[in-house]
């Protein structure tokens, strides 16, 4: 697991070495046990995270209070100002974004479908709409995802993106099929939403290429496991 600290914010990106963290597929007891077995969780005394049922849309769920009902909500991003309450998203090629400032944090699941729906911009807007936070105050970590080297798309997907926004054509290259640069497109969407480019950090690692480090739905041709990316604003650190 890769961990980053910025003041009281703790950010984590799991890898396959942490095991399959598909909490949504587990009973509440097994999910809590799997979470508590992580070394980073024990070291930092982290409580059970909030997650949602991901549907490849662009809904951002505002977590004002945690209950297990949150875990059955359908959304592809979660945002909260709660202290000591992690929020996180699952991925196995899709792009995880962790967005935050000193007071509010969000976890975003930006697969290609959600990216076409500009979920990064919707998440940035949620900071303003729900918490009155300005985009220029935000910092972002772009986590591991399938790289442009390996993310093949058909003509119909390219057409969907370009019909949504003609600027998106710049993030595709044509080989035998179209290849999409998911991380660069999300950076573009974040900056267009008011996030300062220098405030965006990119782990720049391809989940498909690094079979020894990440789960990859496309490489494995089935779902054999998920990574979990989370962020938490700690009351004390």
Residue pLDDT, tens place only, 60-104 = 999 999 988 999 999 999 999 999 999 999 999 999 999 999 999
Q: Please indicate, yes or no, if residue 161 is contained in any of the structural domains.
A: no
Q: What is the pLDDT of residue 237?
A: 58
Q: Please indicate, yes or no, if residue 194 is contained in any of the structural domains.
A: no
Q: Into how many domains does the chain fold? A: 1
Question: Mean pLDDT in the chain?
Answer: 94
**pLDDT above 70 for 4:** yes
**What's the chain's Rg over C-alpha atoms?**
17
Q: Which domain holds residue 210?
A: 2-146+199-233
Q: Please indicate, yes or no, if residue 64 is contained in any of the structural domains.
A: yes
Here the CATH number for the domain that contains residue 117 is: 3.60.140.10
Q: Please indicate, yes or no, if residue 220 is contained in any of the structural domains.
A: yes
Q: Please indicate, yes or no, if residue 141 is contained in any of the structural domains.
A: yes
Q: Which tokens is 113 given?
A: 């479908």
**pLDDT above 70 for 197:** yes
Q: Please indicate, yes or no, if residue 193 is contained in any of the structural domains.
A: no
- As a whole number, mean pLDDT of residues 9-15 equals 97
- As a whole number, mean pLDDT of residues 20-43 equals 93
Taking the model in full, what pTM does it have? 0.95
Q: What is the pLDDT of residue 28?
A: 87
Q: What is the pLDDT of residue 182?
A: 97
For residues 22-58, b (16+ Cβ closer than 10 Å) or e, as one string? bbeeeeeeebeebbeebeebeebebebbbbbebebbb
Q: What is the pLDDT of residue 177?
A: 94
Q: Please indicate, yes or no, if residue 168 is contained in any of the structural domains.
A: no
**pLDDT above 80 for 224:** no
Q: What is the pLDDT of residue 172?
A: 97
What residues pair up with 62 in beta bridges, in sequence order?
79
C-alpha–C-alpha distance, residues 214 and 82, integer Å = 30
pLDDT band at 134 (very low <50, low <70, confident <90, very high): very high
**pLDDT above 80 for 198:** yes
C-alpha–C-alpha distance, residues 119 and 112, integer Å = 10
- As a whole number, mean pLDDT of residues 229-234 equals 97
pLDDT band at 144 (very low <50, low <70, confident <90, very high): very high
C-alpha–C-alpha distance, residues 129 and 150, integer Å = 36
Q: Which tokens is 234 given?
A: 């700690």
Q: What is the pLDDT of residue 217?
A: 80
Q: Please indicate, yes or no, if residue 18 is contained in any of the structural domains.
A: yes
200-202 and 172-174: which strand pairing? unpaired
């Amino acid at each position: 697991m890769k961990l980053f600290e910025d003041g009281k914010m703790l950010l984590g990106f799991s890898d396959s070495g942490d095991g399959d963290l598909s909490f949504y597929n587990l009973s509440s007891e097994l999910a809590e046990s799997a979470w508590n077995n992580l070394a980073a969780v024990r070291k930092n005394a982290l409580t059970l995270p909030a997650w949602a049922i991901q549907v490849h849309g662009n809904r951002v769920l505002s977590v004002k209070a945690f209950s297990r009902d949150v875990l059955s909500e359908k959304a592809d991003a979660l945002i909260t100002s709660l202290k000591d309450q992690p929020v996180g998203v699952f991925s196995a090629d899709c792009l995880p974004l962790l967005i935050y400032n000193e007071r509010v944090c969000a976890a975003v699941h930006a697969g290609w479908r959600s990216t076409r729906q500009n979920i990064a911009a919707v998440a940035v807007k949620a900071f303003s709409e729900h918490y009155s936070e300005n985009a220029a105050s935000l910092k972002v970590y772009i986590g591991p995802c399938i790289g442009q080297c390996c993310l093949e798309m058909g003509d119909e997907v390219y057409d969907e993106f370009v019909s949504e926004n003609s600027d998106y054509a710049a993030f595709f290259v044509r080989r035998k099929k179209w290849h999409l640069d998911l991380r660069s497109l999300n950076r573009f969407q974040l900056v267009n939403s008011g996030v300062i480019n220098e405030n965006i950090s990119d782990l720049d690692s391809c989940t498909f290429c690094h079979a020894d480090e990440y789960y990859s739905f496309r490489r494995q041709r089935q779902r054999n496991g998920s990574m979990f990316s989370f962020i938490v604003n700690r009351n004390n650190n």
